[in-house]
Chains A and B, each alone.
Chain A
Amino acid sequence: MGVYIGKRVLAIIPIILFSSLLMFVMIRVGPVDPAEAYLAAAHIQPDDEVLAAKRHEFGLDQPLLTQYVQSLGRLLRLDFGHSYLSNMPVWGEVAQKLPATLQLASASIVLALVVSIPLGVLAAIYKNRLLDHVIRVFAYIGACVPVFWIGYLLMFFISVKLEWLPVEGRGSVQHLILPSITLALWLIAIYARLLRTTVLEELKEAYVRYARARGIKERVILYKYVLRIAIAPLITGLGINLGKLLTGAIIVEQVFSWPGFGRYFIEAIINRDIPVIQCYVMLSVCVIAGSNLIADLLQLFLDPRIARKGRASQG
């Protein structure tokens, strides 16, 4: 088990190295010269002299390998440089925007778990009955609906027509409700389907037959044994789906004017603020790699059979 955990931790390093290399290469190969982008964002008329000075300041006149090693070094120190637009340290600005995004994402994850676990279990218990069909149709549609569309639909009916909740912005708990529902819907759809399948599969296992033969109540079997194992793929699934959750958060933040990292990132893309873009991509890669690791370890704890098989099952 210790070896397994060690291997999983070490496996993160190549992912981060690869993504930093990819970012580095893309910025160098890409059509935008960072020095020019900086001057454009700062509204400075570029001439050759200013450009050369800026290039020297950014280290763009040094050999590529030196540049890459330096950028890796800065990454390790969590130094993402200064925003071209505001000239403030990127990390400081991000630290300001991050709590809003984390709040939105965690609220959605909690909501998704709270809603999808009963839905998935109900669908499995009432397999092929009306309730099952309703849940599955909902789950099917939920996975195909664009996040931004469902967000505006909710906003229209609940905030504009019924005036129950504020239309946009952040502040009170009421502000959090619609954005987190919007972001969670898609995750609920995936989870309900996944849980239904795993519960049905687990119910066919030998230990369930054994428990039934021993006369243990169906409800106890379901909640005490089956559910514990069926939840494990949801957790690994979260690690896998976190990328989509992050991009979903970008869209939800845009729809509801939620002042988080995602909106900041979109502004940065439109203004060619390369340090901010780089920071967003690298941070999301680290977050995703880290949460995949945590998900694997949690799953190990929930379903010890995995360690004996010596591998993490894929969700």
Chain B
Amino acid sequence: MNNLSSRFKGKRVIMICGSLLILFGLAGLLAPWISPHDPIRVNLAAKLSPPSWEYLLGTDQLGRDNLSRLLYGTRISLGFASLIFAASLGVGLLAGVVSGYSGGWLDAALMRLCDGIMSFPSMILVFGLIGILGPGLSQLVIALMLVQWVYFARMFRNMIVSLKERNFITAARISGSSPWQIMSRHLIPNILPSIVVIGTLEMGWAIMDISAMSFLGLGVQAPTPEWGAMLNEGKSFIRNHPELMLYPGLMIIMVVASFNLLGEALSERYGIKRGS
């Protein structure tokens, strides 16, 4: 590879994106304590005010502090993306382990189900599910989880099938380790890098999808400060106050780009083919 690309995708990217994401994570976690104002308290007297010491990034059409709303938006985006990640990891782990260990018809059926869901373009499936379940945040989380678990299931299943017969597993089995010990001491450490890579990329997708659906009014509903929903609320003020749309968009780009770059750099580092 050429040197810029390897430098570009190397340690430095992991460091920069990782620390940026940790910063965002802290901002989200600490939002209730570090936000200067209540993100949903309406104050019409101060509506659409320019940046000042009181309101560092100004206020929106209802006089709510933009900075506080962005900070709470971090909490919502990262929080729900993590929830989707955890849920799809859990479901995928269960399905993959069952599939990989049992083999036979159950394995075949589960893997055909995964094929089916993967052959479906994921966002169309999310739209269809939201259409049937109805708009709303919990429905969106369920829909995104239902699309994403298959990548984990496929990964866990393939790894278990290929690792099951490897010598070190057989050695562990012969020396009397229980299935649980084999799982926790030998299998899980082997697949941890893949979980991190797929998870990082999925976090980026989930944040993008949550914001897109909320922008369309199908996910997080106003007045909750989610970036996509904020953009949706700010769009009527495009003429005179484009900053209402600018800020949330920049937040989405920074977080999604960090997750994508980090995921790619990690997958290069560990030599893992990406899921999807």
Pairing of A with B? yes
Residues in A lying within 8 Å of B, measured CB to CB: 15, 18-19, 22-23, 26-27, 30-32, 127-128, 133, 140-141, 143-149, 152-153, 155-156, 160, 242-244, 246-247, 250-251, 254-255, 265-266, 268-270, 272, 274, 277, 280-281, 284-285, 288
Bound CA–CA A23/B128 (angstroms): 8
Of B128, B216, B231, which contacts A266 at CB under 8 A?
A: B216
Bound CA–CA A154/B185 (angstroms): 53
B175 within 8 A of A: no
CB of B124 within 8 A of CB of A32, answer no
CB of B128 within 8 A of CB of A128, answer no
Q: Given the complex, which residues of B lie within 8 Å of A274, measured CB to CB?
A: 131-132
- 8 Å CB interface, B104-145 against A: 116, 119-124, 127-135
Of A22, A156, A280, which contacts B242 at CB under 8 A?
A: A156
Bound CA–CA A247/B170 (angstroms): 48
CB of A281 within 8 A of CB of B127, answer yes
B: contact size bracket: 35 or more
CB of A149 within 8 A of CB of B134, answer no
B166 within 8 A of A: no
Of B2, B128, B215, B245, which contacts A281 at CB under 8 A?
A: B128
CB of A133 within 8 A of CB of B123, answer no
CB of A247 within 8 A of CB of B4, answer no
18 contacts between A and B (CB under 8 A): A15-B116, A18-B116, A23-B132, A26-B128, A26-B129, A26-B132, A30-B133, A32-B132, A146-B212, A147-B212, A148-B215, A244-B123, A246-B124, A247-B121, A266-B217, A266-B218, A270-B218, A272-B131
Bound CA–CA A284/B135 (angstroms): 20
Select the residue from A26, A147, A148, A153 with max chain B CB neighbours within 10 A: A148
- 8 Å CB interface, B238-276 against A: 238-239, 242, 245-246, 248-249, 252-253, 256-257, 260-261
Q: Given the complex, which residues of A lie within 8 Å of B116, measured CB to CB?
A: 15, 18, 22
Decide if the interface of chain A is mainly helix, strand, loop or mixed. Answer: helix
CB of A93, distance to nearest CB on chain B (Å): 16
B208 within 8 A of A: yes
CB of B252 within 8 A of CB of A146, answer yes
CB of A269 within 8 A of CB of B131, answer yes
Bound CA–CA A285/B235 (angstroms): 32
CB of B25, distance to nearest CB on chain A (Å): 18
Apart from the given pairs A140-B257, A247-B124, A270-B217, 5 other A-B contacts in the complex at a CB distance below 8 Å: A19-B120, A31-B134, A146-B228, A146-B252, A266-B216
Q: Given the complex, which residues of B lie within 8 Å of A153, measured CB to CB?
A: 245-246, 249
Q: Given the complex, which residues of B lie within 8 Å of A285, measured CB to CB?
A: 120, 124
Bound CA–CA A147/B128 (angstroms): 20
CB of B152, distance to nearest CB on chain A (Å): 20
Q: Given the complex, which residues of A lie within 8 Å of B211, measured CB to CB?
A: 146
Decide: A133 near B4, CB < 8 A? Known: A247-B127, A251-B215, A277-B128: yes
- 8 Å CB interface, B61-118 against A: 116
Bound CA–CA A265/B4 (angstroms): 45
Bound CA–CA A254/B231 (angstroms): 13
Bound CA–CA A146/B217 (angstroms): 15
CB of B185, distance to nearest CB on chain A (Å): 36
Bound CA–CA A155/B235 (angstroms): 11
Q: Given the complex, which residues of B lie within 8 Å of A268, measured CB to CB?
A: 131
Decide: A250 near B2, CB < 8 A? Known: A145-B253, A152-B238: no
Bound CA–CA A156/B131 (angstroms): 31
Of B215, B239, B257, which contacts A141 at CB under 8 A?
A: B257
CB of A13, distance to nearest CB on chain B (Å): 12
The 8 closest A-B pairs by CB, nearest first: A243-B121, A149-B249, A277-B131, A247-B123, A144-B257, A281-B128, A30-B132, A269-B131
Chain B minimum-CB-distance residue to A152 = B245
Bound CA–CA A280/B131 (angstroms): 10
Q: Given the complex, which residues of B lie within 8 Å of A247, measured CB to CB?
A: 121, 123-124, 127, 212
CB of A279, distance to nearest CB on chain B (Å): 11
CB of A30, distance to nearest CB on chain B (Å): 4
CB of B235 within 8 A of CB of A146, answer no
Q: Given the complex, which residues of A lie within 8 Å of B256, measured CB to CB?
A: 144, 146
Of B4, B121, B215, B246, which contacts A288 at CB under 8 A?
A: B121
Select the residue from A31, A244, A247, A268 with max chain B CB neighbours within 10 A: A247
Q: Given the complex, which residues of B lie within 8 Å of A272, measured CB to CB?
A: 131, 134
Of A250, A266, A277, which contacts B132 at CB under 8 A?
A: A277
Bound CA–CA A147/B122 (angstroms): 17
CB of A152 within 8 A of CB of B134, answer no
CB of B124 within 8 A of CB of A281, answer yes
Chain B minimum-CB-distance residue to A143 = B260
Q: Given the complex, which residues of A lie within 8 Å of B216, measured CB to CB?
A: 250-251, 254, 266
Decide: A31 near B253, CB < 8 A? Known: A147-B212, A246-B121, A266-B216: no
